[in-house]
Amino acid sequence: MRDEIVDLMEVKPKILQRKTVVERILEKIRNFVDVFYTDMPEVDGEE
């Protein structure tokens, strides 16, 4: 997944910076998903 994130970036970070930059982006993505996952009301019977 890290390679895909780097491929999507307009400005590629240097090799030594990639690990920290990608980890920060992954953390932001996880937090974003978590907000919707935990805050979504449960819907019964609707599909």
Calculate mean pLDDT across residues 27-42: 85
Domain count, the chain: 1
Please give the mean pLDDT across all residues of the chain: 86
Domain extent, residue 26, equals 2-37
Q: Answer whether residue 32 is part of any domain.
A: yes
Q: Answer whether residue 14 is part of any domain.
A: yes
User: pTM of whole model > 0.85?
Assistant: no
In 3D, which of 13, 32, 35 has the Cα closest to residue 22? 13
Residue 44 has pLDDT above 60, yes or no: yes
**Residue with tokens 């979504």, as numbered in its chain:** 40
Calculate mean pLDDT across residues 2-15: 92
